[in-house]
Amino acid sequence: MASHIAEVTEDVFSQLPPAARFTGEDEALLLRLGPGLASLEDHLVQGFYDILFAHPETARILSSGARSERENALRRWWRRTLEGPFDAHYWQWQAAVGLIHVRQNVTNPMMIGMWGWILNALQQALLETLRLLPHEAARAMEALHRLAATAQALTVESYMRHYLVALSQSTGVSTDLIQRLVAVELSSLDPSAQA
Amino acid sequence: MAIAEELNTILGRMRTSVPELSAALVATTDGLPIAHSLNSGDANRLAAMAATALGLGRRICESFGGGGFRETSVSGDEGQMYIYSAGPKAVLGVVARAGANVGLIHLEARDAASQVAQMLERR
């Protein structure tokens, strides 16, 4: 199982249906909206970390560093996202986030939940702050949802692969064998009995 | 002779030599059972676990400088399982009741593991 960031990124893109993946048209649209979206930076960053610091589970993880450092990381991502390009380097960065999250104990529910918050905040801001027409806002949200899906797929897959590869390397059990153990163990599990 | 048939012959000879054995199996290092003589239990699960013990044993040997992994065992109140490296591609597992003659089991099972390794090497 490949765990190098470039390989993970390629694998994820091959698995994502093209219709669900961030497109060149999406990129052009985001770059065009970039100046307006850039003005939302403070609002997004402030809201994002207010939520994380207000929730005990996420605040515990964030407590090791200064808030300003955390905020700067999000600012860098937002600016890079609005400036483009959405090239291999950008997507590999999103995959690398998975590895960072394993190290920092950031869980996938935390990551996916905050992606949802970002999308909701942007939807509201597109209409109320940037005053886009409804159909323009809808088209922008389509692009942002595909961006979110692509980035989340990369981060989650990278998270899982690095977890498995670390387990494999530390125990000497190959990832093929781990997958076999999982298949054997789950073959007799009745999902309806787990609900 | 097919691989499984040849392996079953090796397992059969070993079980004849050690009647106390209640089961034996050969699996790939990825946990796929190739041959077994289990009267009960899940061969798929046991093969995957034997391969897991092999992988962990190899890593432990590397970590303390013990050289190449040879064997490990798991003992319970009512029985025990011995797991042997059978070359780079396979693992041999044998199950016996508690109180079985461990010396005899090792003698025969080590020889069987060596035969399995040689047989798979030729393939």
Residue B69: both structure tokens together: 């992994």
B27: nearest CA partner in chain A: A177
- The per-residue pLDDT for B79 is 95
Judge whether B66 is closer than 8 Å to chain A, CB to CB. Answer: no
Closest Cβ opposite residue B30 in set A171, A172, A177: A177
Per-position pLDDT tens, chain A of length 195: 777 999 999 999 999 999 999 999 999 999 999 999 999 999 999 999 999 999 999 999 987 678 898 999 999 999 999 999 999 999 999 999 999 999 999 999 999 999 999 999 999 999 999 999 999 999 999 999 999 999 999 999 999 999 999 999 988 899 999 999 999 889 888 777 776
Q: How far is A185 from chain B (nearest CA, A)?
A: 8
Q: How far is A178 from chain B (nearest CA, A)?
A: 8
Beta carbons of A172 and B29 less than 8 Å apart: no
Beta carbons of A184 and B44 less than 8 Å apart: yes
In three-state secondary structure terms, A3 is coil
B79-85: strand order across its sheet: B33-36, B21-28, B90-97, B79-85, B71-75
**Which residues sit opposite B23 in a β-bridge?**
B95
Q: How far is B49 from chain A (nearest CA, A)?
A: 8
Residues of A in contact with B52 (CB under 8 A): 171, 173, 177, 181
**Which residues sit opposite B84 in a β-bridge?**
B71, B92
A169: nearest CA partner in chain B: B59
- The per-residue pLDDT for A1 is 75
C-alpha distances out from residue B6 to A136, A170, B35, B119, Å:
70, 34, 9, 8
Say what the pTM is.
0.83
Residues of B in contact with A172 (CB under 8 A): 55-60, 62
- The per-residue pLDDT for A187 is 87
Beta carbons of A171 and B59 less than 8 Å apart: yes
Residue matched to tokens 């450092």: A69
Q: Which residues of A touch B (CB under 8 A)?
A: 170-174, 176-177, 180-181, 184-185
Residues of B in contact with A171 (CB under 8 A): 52, 55-56, 59
- The per-residue pLDDT for A35 is 95
- The per-residue pLDDT for A6 is 96
- The per-residue pLDDT for A75 is 97
Q: Which CATH superfamily is domain B3-122 in?
A: Dynein light chain 2a, cytoplasmic (3.30.450.30)
The set of residues, in sequence order, having a beta carbon less than 8 Å from that of A13 and lying 6+ positions away, is A21, A91
Closest Cβ opposite residue B30 in set A172, A174, A185: A174
Is residue B1 scored above 80 in pLDDT? no
Q: How does residue B42 score in pLDDT terms, banded at 50, 70 and 90?
A: confident
Q: Is the peptide bond before A17 cis (omega within 30 degrees of 0)?
A: no
C-alpha of A176 from chain center: 26
Q: Does domain A5-159 have CATH number 1.10.490.10?
A: yes
Ordered by start, the domain boundaries in chain A are 5-159
Beta carbons of A181 and B31 less than 8 Å apart: yes
Residue A189: both structure tokens together: 């599990």
Ordered by start, the domain boundaries in chain B are 3-122
- The per-residue pLDDT for A62 is 87
Residues of B in contact with A181 (CB under 8 A): 31, 48-49, 52
A168 and A178 Cβ atoms separated by less than 8 Å: yes
ipTM for the predicted complex comes to 0.77
Q: Identify which of B46, B89, B39 has the alpha carbon closest to the alpha carbon of residue A180.
A: B46
For B84-119, how does the pLDDT look when each residue is reduced to its tens digit (9 = 90+)?
A: 999 999 999 999 999 999 999 999 999 999 999 999
- The per-residue pLDDT for A114 is 98
